Amino acid sequence: MPNINDTLNNGAKNREALVADVLEEFNQISFRDFQVTLKRWYEGSLSLVHLNVLMALRAHGSLTMSQLADLLDVSVASATGIVDRMEKKGVVERRHSEADRRVVEVHVTDQGEAVSQAMRTERQMRLSALLAEIDGEDLAALLRGLRAFRVARERILANLPDALKNRP
């Protein structure tokens, strides 16, 4: 692992190296570990696709079947099958739109909300345990970096066409 002080002290010419190091650190946070944690946490009763649907509904509110299919990048028929299985588990429900009864919307149920809340609580506990291992100076630097990351993301999103802004 490169010495961060060397990278920082060499100025703008090493910005590319610093970005590469940051990206490598992100890559070290394994998506596979995240998947295993989710599967183990909910004891496999919801698939990763189901958890993804719950997160999408929490982020966007109720969605029509076609909107959900677009977000998941699947056909409406596939989205219908996913929602069928989730309804059987009691975490989502379909309702006809009040504005147009022909339109079917997918909503999170109270049980789905409980699953989402439990996931957030579990995530907070795991992140708290990680953050407890970081000294105060590094924690302050992390906070500054995360805030800069959020601001940069908001700037990029503000410049996107409206059709892309609602995508995850």
Domain boundaries, the chain: 1-41
Residues 6+ apart with CB under 8 A from 138: none
- Residues 142, 19, 151, 53, CA torsion sign: negative
Give bridge partners of residue 93 from the DSSP assignment.
107
What is the per-residue pLDDT across 57-102, written as a single tens digit (0 to 9) for each? 998 999 999 999 999 999 999 999 999 999 999 999 999 988 888 8
What is the per-residue pLDDT across 42-67, written as a single tens digit (0 to 9) for each? 555 788 889 889 989 998 999 999 99
CB 68 within 8 A of CB 106: yes
What is the per-residue pLDDT across 124-166, written as a single tens digit (0 to 9) for each? 888 888 899 999 999 999 999 999 999 999 999 898 887 665 5
